[in-house]
Amino acid sequence: MDITKLSCEFVVRFLTETDINAIYDLSITNSIYYQYCPPFVTKESIIEDMRALPPNKTYKDKYYIGFFRHTKLVAILDLILDYPNSSTAFIGLFMLDKSDQGKGTGTSIINECFSYIETLGYSCVRLAFAKGNRQSEAFWKKNGFVEIGIESKKDTYTAVVMQKELP
């Protein structure tokens, strides 16, 4: 996958440990997310997220990327290809800087991403949100995701699985 094709509006690149401070600064603006998906972000938890993989996946399938407006990190996307099956792309995390929320920026980013992902042969995108987080739920429903009847108990929250079929 050529990540530069995920957006025409933003510079897209892989995030690395050199980006920890920018990721942290963006993450702390999203306190609602951490109310429902604790614990609150730390620089150590960011490194763990960068390395986290679902069962039977490798780093060749993981795209932990940032969307930049000039030098400012605007959004983070943790995307796993071919999970849970070969026709599905899985969003492990999508987080937008608080200052860009409510302006259509998040919707624009994911729509561009999905258009490109579809050209790669994927027919759906799946994700999970923390049950009770109405902000996340509303965002994903607004963008065409529907709950598929799967919930998974985690240590500190319940994950509700949603899916969107690509055109």
Query: Cβ contacts of residue 95 below 8 Å, gap of 6+?
Result: 26, 27, 30, 33, 75, 76
pTM as predicted: 0.94
- If one counts every other C-beta atom within 10 angstroms of the C-beta of residue 151, the result is 12
Residue 149: give its domain's CATH number. Answer: 3.40.630.30
Q: How confident is the model at residue 167 (pLDDT cuts 50, 70, 90)?
A: confident
Tell me the per-residue pLDDT of 11-44, one tens digit each, with 9 for 90 and over: 999 999 999 999 999 999 999 999 999 999 999 9
- Give the pLDDT confidence score for residue 114 in this predicted structure: 97
**DSSP helix/strand/coil, 89:** strand
**DSSP helix/strand/coil, 63:** strand
| Exposure of 94 in the CB half-sphere (CA atoms within 13 A) | 25
Tell me the per-residue pLDDT of 74-129, one tens digit each, with 9 for 90 and over: 999 999 999 999 999 999 999 999 999 999 999 999 999 999 999 999 999 999 99
Cβ contact 69:10 at 8 Å: yes
Residue 57 pLDDT > 90:
yes
Q: How confident is the model at residue 54 (pLDDT cuts 50, 70, 90)?
A: very high
Cβ contact 97:90 at 8 Å: no
Query: Cβ contacts of residue 165 below 8 Å, gap of 6+?
Result: 123, 124
| Exposure of 3 in the CB half-sphere (CA atoms within 13 A) | 21
Give the residue numbers spanning the domain of 133. Answer: 3-165
* Count of domains observed in the chain: 1
Per-residue pLDDT averaged across 125-137, rounded?
A: 97
